Amino acid sequence: MRVILLGAPGSGKGTVAEGLRSACGFPKISTGDLLREAVREKTPLGLVAASQMGKGGLVDDATVLALLRDRLARPDCREGYVLDGFPRNLTQADSLDALGLSGPEIVFDLEVSDEVVLERLANRRTCPKCEAIYHLVNKPPKRAGICDVCGTALVQRNDDTPEVIRERLKTYHAKTEPLVARYAAKGNLHRIDADGAAGQVIGAVRRVLDAAFGCPAGAGR
């Protein structure tokens, strides 16, 4: 099963992907995480991405697709995965179809208002090492400023500033939102109200997956 998560920055794609990973065992494939890792490691693709990230626009399609193809080729993706942050425009959706991947595809649109996005991103802190996500009020780390998972000092992402958030929202509405109509026409889109608490949103997604495919609830790996 291939799950695609659509939604604005801050809609909770990463949190839902992590919830599905722990509940159903599907790896979370986040193109944002892959890009940040490539930038940190200064790989050739990372050097290209570094000059394009952090301003609120998109990284070029060829760079993102190259990273994604490598990741999907790894053995843990054989049974399925959750895509967080890809596709992000119509060209990327076409490229994904062109990969001719097997298995059913199901798409969720995490619907959230711009006000909720601004509040969530201002309070978001992330782990620069393992990419765990926290919210200062709703999901604070156990020790202030320290990642519960790996003990690294948490940071505010450099694109979580008010100006860059506004740009990212503009990019989302212009480039990514049209994908909602595309997948609705394809007949595999589920709209989820994502303004609520993380547990409720993950629960709503899992109910759809259970009904459609019998996601092995509780069989976390």
Residues that bind ligand ADP (CB under 6 A): 9-10, 31-32, 35, 53, 58-59, 64, 85-86, 88, 92, 159, 168
Cis before 87 (ω within 30): yes
* Closest distance to ligand ADP from the beta carbon of 163 (Å): 13
Partnered with residue 151 across adjacent β-strands are none
Q: Which among 202, 219, 218, 220 has a CA at the least distance from the CA of 3? A: 202
Q: Is the CB of 66 or the CB of 184 nearer to ligand ADP?
A: 66
Nearest 5°: the CA angle 161, 162, 164 is: 65
13 is catalytic: yes
Tokens of 1: 């099963």
* Closest distance to ligand ADP from the beta carbon of 105 (Å): 16
- Out of 28, 36, 71, 88, the active site residue is 88
124 is catalytic: yes
DSSP line for 91-109: HHHHHHHHTT--S-EEEEE
Q: Is the CB of 46 or the CB of 85 nearer to ligand ADP?
A: 85
User: Strands 124-126, 81-84: parallel, antiparallel or unpaired by DSSP?
Assistant: unpaired
- Out of 157, 175, 191, 207, the active site residue is 157
Q: Is the CB of 41 or the CB of 210 nearer to ligand ADP?
A: 41
* Closest distance to ligand ADP from the beta carbon of 169 (Å): 9
- Catalytic residues, by residue number, are 13, 88, 124, 157, 168
